[in-house]
Structure 1
Amino acid sequence: MAAAHRCTTTDMTTLPFQLPLIAILRGITPSEVDAHVDALVEEGFDAIEIPTNSPGWLESVQRSVQRYGQHACIGAGTVVQPAHIDGLLQAGGRLMVTPNTDPQLIQRAVAEGLLVAAGFATASEAFQALRAGAQMLKLFPASIHGPALVRALRSVLPPVPLFAVGGVSPDTLASYLSAGCVGAGIGGDLYQPGQAVQTTREHARRFRQAYLDHSA
């Protein structure tokens, strides 16, 4: 599937990638990013997020897009200002992940053709993000709110893709999926700054298997 299809939703229920686990490489450097993204893609991951508070994040996004833009949806996380959108577009990224629901930021990103996963913590924030045009929602931090909130939200939200982000582990992933999430954004339990590539690979394998076991 080409990058344009992987990173575009045709309606509110369509997933933009095949494995709904967004790999969050917070703290990664441009000199490390190629090897870790290689490992993730080889393990079946096709959604990669490099947060804007990572060293040289723009270069890392650009390198990842050049290397895997035809195979994965590459973008930036912790997008909280217009300059981040400018940089993301310049780097060729297509995925924008936010920790909040700034309507102006979401509206601009959507107008620029970006796929937006907006972070929220309440039903009011979720609906605000959807009104602004966000195609996906990100419950953050999920570990604080838990699967019970996911279940309650599903009773009032439209069928928009909902991801659990923040403290999700291979052992807890199934509980969020059962509650109504389509997937998760995975950070600290997948990647820690400076860790070996093999460790990233092993963690990715565990998460993917946890997802597949639940989906079987």
Structure 2
Amino acid sequence: MTAGFDSVLRGFRILPVLTVPDPATARLLAEALTAGGARGAEVTFRTPGAEHVLKTMAAHGGMTVGAGTVLTQDQAERAVAAGARFVVSPGYDEEVIAKCRELGVPVVPGIATATELMRALRAGCDTVKLFPAEPLGGVRTLKALAAPFPQARFVPTGGIDISRLAAYLADPAVLAVGGSWMASAAHLARGDYEEIRRLTAEAMERSTP
């Protein structure tokens, strides 16, 4: 049986979402995130070198690494082959879900409406990604969706920063919060790994009860 996303996360509540243009930076990025206390990360399939980044970070050993922005069965297969321990999609796609089940990895489909949430739950996905969380209405929308579906757990992602983190984490329906503010494109372009470490440590500290 495939382990659930919550067991793969092992209780961590912050999920750095990484879009890494240059695979050569992956090792230093993994070290900075680990030094800041991150125990997991999502590497998006938005760049040509995403598989290389996944392989490098998965080999680092300090984190559970998954693949994000997975849109097709082929991407899911390639991500798992590169070392992804879980798969995240921005939307609900039955073929991606089926492929992840076949590969034996947890999958977190993206949802934006109650209809999509119902479809995900019917497919056996009780953990979903609320995306894009802030443009959709933030915590108010999350609470409205969670109320009629108490079995659902959410990983809100999109537009969230440190100032909004506490409000999401305070909601019992939230399993973890995804965000790119800890390691943004600007940080990576500057090679500012100390700032990545600092922001990660700040997020981890605020996520601890």
TM-score, structure 2 normalization: 0.88
Q: Secondary structure at the match of 1:205?
A: helix
Residues 1:15 and 1:63: Cα distance change in structure 2 (over 3 Å): closer
Distance in 1 (CA, whole Å) between partners of 2:85 and 2:8 is 14
Distance in 1 (CA, whole Å) between partners of 2:8 and 2:144 is 22
Distance in 1 (CA, whole Å) between partners of 2:149 and 2:94 is 18
**Residue 53 of structure 2 is aligned to residue 88 of structure 1:** no
Shift of 1:13: 6.5
Task: Select the residue among 94, 116, 124 that pairs with 1:125.
Answer: 116
Quick check: 2:77–2:103 contact (8 Å CA) kept in 1? no
Task: Tell me the amino acid that sits aligned with residue 120 of structure 2.
Answer: A
Partner of 2:3: 8
Distance in 1 (CA, whole Å) between partners of 2:40 and 2:121 is 21
Quick check: 1:19–1:44 contact (8 Å CA) kept in 2? no
Quick check: 1:115–1:135 contact (8 Å CA) kept in 2? no
Task: Select the residue among 15, 24, 38 that pairs with 1:22.
Answer: 15
Distance in 1 (CA, whole Å) between partners of 2:8 and 2:59 is 23
1:36-47 → structure 2 map (5 Å cutoff): 36-47=29-40
1:20-50: per-residue Cα shift (whole Å, max 9, x none)?
2111111342100111111112222122111
Shift of 1:119: 0.9
Residues 1:167 and 1:80: Cα distance change in structure 2 (over 3 Å): same
Residues 1:22 and 1:56: Cα distance change in structure 2 (over 3 Å): same
Partner of 1:109: 100
Task: Tell me the amino acid that sits aligned with residue 61 of structure 1.
Answer: L
Quick check: 2:77–2:99 contact (8 Å CA) kept in 1? no
Quick check: 1:24–1:50 contact (8 Å CA) kept in 2? yes
**Residue 203 of structure 2 is aligned to residue 200 of structure 1:** no
Distance in 1 (CA, whole Å) between partners of 2:50 and 2:125 is 23
**Identity level (%):** 24
1:52-100: per-residue Cα shift (whole Å, max 9, x none)?
11240001101111222xx422111100011101211211211101000
Structure 1 residue ranges, 4+ long, deviating more than 4 angstroms after superposition: 12-15
Distance in 1 (CA, whole Å) between partners of 2:89 and 2:23 is 21
**Residue 58 of structure 2 is aligned to residue 65 of structure 1:** yes
Shift of 1:208: 1.2
Partner of 1:191: 183
The number of residue pairs the alignment matches comes to: 202
Partner of 1:3: none
TM-score, structure 1 normalization: 0.86
Distance in 1 (CA, whole Å) between partners of 2:147 and 2:120 is 17
Supply the RMSD in Å over aligned alpha carbons. Answer: 1.9
Task: Tell me the amino acid that sits aligned with residue 198 of structure 1.
Answer: E
Distance in 1 (CA, whole Å) between partners of 2:8 and 2:48 is 29
1:184-211: per-residue Cα shift (whole Å, max 9, x none)?
0011x11122141111111111211221
Distance in 2 (CA, whole Å) between partners of 1:178 and 1:92 is 32
Distance in 2 (CA, whole Å) between partners of 1:197 and 1:161 is 32
Q: Secondary structure at the match of 2:170?
A: helix
**Residue 200 of structure 2 is aligned to residue 209 of structure 1:** no
Partner of 2:167: 175
Task: Tell me the amino acid that sits aligned with residue 39 of structure 1.
Answer: A
Task: Select the residue among 121, 135, 140 that pairs with 1:148.
Answer: 140
Q: Which runs of 5+ in 2 are unaligned?
A: none
